[in-house]
Each structure stands twice: as C-alpha cells, then as structure tokens.
Amino acid sequence: MSQSVAERPAVVSVREERHGAIALRTADEIAAIERAGAVVAAALEAAQGVIRAGASTSEIDRAVRASIAGQGAEPSFLGYPNPNGGAAFPAACCVSVDNEVVHGIPGARTLRAGELVKIDVGARLDGWCADAAVAVVVPGAVDSALDAFVADSWETLHAGIAAMQPGARWSDIADRMQRLAVARGHGMVDGWHGHGVGRQVHEAPQAPSLVSHGLRAERDFTLLPGMVLAVEPILVLGGRGTIDADGCMQAQTAAAGADGWTVALPEGSVVCHVEHTVAVTRSGPRILTRRPANRAGCDSNTNHGGCGLTG
Ligand code: MG
C-alpha cells in the first residue's frame, strides 16, 4: 500500500535530517519483519495463483485472506483508516487494474486477458508488518510491449534497492529509479509514496520513487543501517516522463476516486506498481519480502539484479 501525501507523518523537517524520527531496527527486529515479509510473499503467490481471465478481483482477495490467516498473521490493510475521512479499507489486499494506480478495492470486477493487475498486500505477524506488491498480466493475450513494461518496472524497483547502501541519500535512490523509468520511455505517478515499515505498515519517513523539489529541500534523508522502507515505484506505460534542470521529475498525479480509495489515471492509461519491503544493513540492502522462488540462490545482502525480475 502506498502512503498518500495527506498521511504525511510529522518527520524530518529540514535539510539536515534527524534520523530520530525514523526508527532504526535491530537485527532481531529486522528478522521479525522478514518473517512478516514471508507471509506477504506467500500471500502474493496465492493471489497470483487465481489470476485468469474470468476471475473476479474478490477471488484474489479471498486467496490473500486465506493465505494470511493460514500463516497465523493479520492483513494490515483490512480496516485501514481512510486518510480522507471516508470508509476504512474493506479488503485484505488492494487490486488495481490497468489505469488504476493503487488502492483498488477487490470486488465483482472480472479480469480480462491482457489486463495488468497489481496486487498489494500487507501483513502483521507477531506485531511486525511488511508490505509488497506484484504486477501480473492476465494470461491469454500476447502483448510484448506490456511484458516489457512490467519488466522495466521490476528493473526500476531493483535498481533503487541495489543503491540502498548506508550513507546514501534517499534522493539518490529516487533519482536512479526515475532516470531508469524515463530512459525506458515511461512516466511515473507522483503523490503516492514508499514509506517506513515496522510496528505499523506506514511509518516515517516518506520514500518517494521520484525526485521533487520538496524532497530535495525538506524531506531528504540519509540511509542508516536499521532503516526498513517499502520501496514502490509507480510507472506509466509510455507516459511522458520529463526531468527538469534540477533533476526533479514532472510527473502525473492522481487522487482517490468516488469509492474513497481507488486511485486512477484516465481510461486508456496503463500503470504498473511493484513494491518490496527492504532493510538497510551494514552490508547493504536486504529484501524482506522476497518470494520463495527467488530466495534460493540469491544472496539477500547483495545486488539483486538478475534475480528479481519477477519480484
Ligand atoms: Mg507500501
């Protein structure tokens, strides 16, 4: 789940950040978040298992609920308060299709071949949270441009993660992600951000996936060992991504629609959103929501390029 600007926590206020507003987790705490991450990863696997033309998005939600409950955990998004004062989120996962950006509510909608489905899952296990999202093309139609777009989105995410070394500035991570997205001919969506993860699914700081003047001037921070962040770039297929002379991206924005939750671009747009929860460690980034198929053979403390294209 992405954090909205409206939810902005009271955090880092000046250029010289005070990491005291950003929790630093111990190795044991990171291990606990990783156990929650394994729950999320398994729930995403279960969700993918039901994706087919003709399936309803509520089937995806049922699969996620059953998976999380079966692992003795709780869905973080079910009952999540609406930052704009509307009804709480009514499902265990967000399912956003095609032009929907984030926070789609699962329901009666029926999937069609060739649609791009984004599934976002958060879970709490033993008091610790994790948050991740995958993007899946509904089987049955061949669209190599769409497949490439999804691959570009994963590559963007993993390029950002790979740069999450202690001492890096967050703006450098965002810069890497936006440059890669734009180089591949895609735009990005602003206003929905990555975030800290810990006892709550949304904690300080905001971790946007593109560079804005506001990030540079007020909200940038230095990565320190023990920080745990959800990283979640949102790309627009063939969108016009432009970067100004200050290195800041001019991106599309989108707000929640009539149901109070679903954020969408105009019909005809195609949006991809992928996400991992990542710990910064002394030896580099560690993905805490890696799916089982990708855990084997991957050194979780090193660059994940080449082993993360499917999450
Ligand atoms: Mg998130």
- Tens digits of per-residue pLDDT, 249-282? 999 999 999 999 999 999 999 999 999 999 999 9
Cα 80 to ligand 1 centroid, rounded to whole Å: 13
How many Å lie between the centroid of ligand 1 and the Cα of residue 4?
A: 10
Q: How confident is the model at residue 3 (pLDDT cuts 50, 70, 90)?
A: confident
Task: For residue 93, report the distance from its CA to the centre of ligand 1, in Å.
Answer: 11
Q: Output the CA 123–ligand 1 centroid distance in Å.
A: 11
Centre of ligand 1 from the C-alpha of residue 197, in Å:
8
**Model confidence, pTM:** 0.90
Distance 230 CA to ligand 1 centre (A): 5
Angle at alpha carbon of residue 98, lines to 231 and 38, rounded to 5°: 40
Contact 287, 276 (CB under 8 A): yes
* Ligand 1 geometric centre to CA of 52 (Å): 25
Lowest mean pLDDT among 24-38, 172-186, 201-215, 296-310: 296-310
Give the DSSP letter string of the chain: -PEEGGG--S---SSS--GGGS----HHHHHHHHHHHHHHHHHHHHHHHT--TT-BHHHHHHHHHHHHHHTT-EESSTTPPPTTSSPPP-SSEEEEETTEEE-PPPSS-B--TT-EEEEEEEEEETTEEEEEEEEEEPSS---HHHHHHHHHHHHHHHHHHHT--TT-BHHHHHHHHHHHHHHTT-EEEESEEEEE-SSSSSEEEEE-SS--HHIIIII--B--TT-EEEE--EEETT---EE-TTS-EE-EE--B-TTSS-EEPPTT--EEE-BEEEEEETTEEEESS--HHHHTT--TTS--TTT-TT-
Q: Distance from the CA of 242 to the center of ligand 1, in angstroms?
A: 25
Return the CATH superfamily for domain 3-10+17-299.
Answer: Creatinase/methionine aminopeptidase superfamily (3.90.230.10)
The pLDDT of residue 118: 98
Asked which of 29-38, 184-193, 284-293 is least confident by mean pLDDT, the reply is 284-293
Ligand 1 centroid to Cα of residue 121, in Å, is: 8
Q: What is the pLDDT of residues 196-208, one digit of tens each?
A: 999 999 999 999 9
The pLDDT tens digits of the residues spanning 298-311 come to: 333 223 333 333 44
pLDDT band at 241 (very low <50, low <70, confident <90, very high): confident
276 C-alpha to center of ligand 1: Å?
A: 8
CA–centroid distance, residue 207 to ligand 1 (Å): 10
Q: What is the pLDDT of residue 300?
A: 32
Q: How high is the pLDDT of residue 5?
A: 61
Distance 165 CA to ligand 1 centre (A): 20
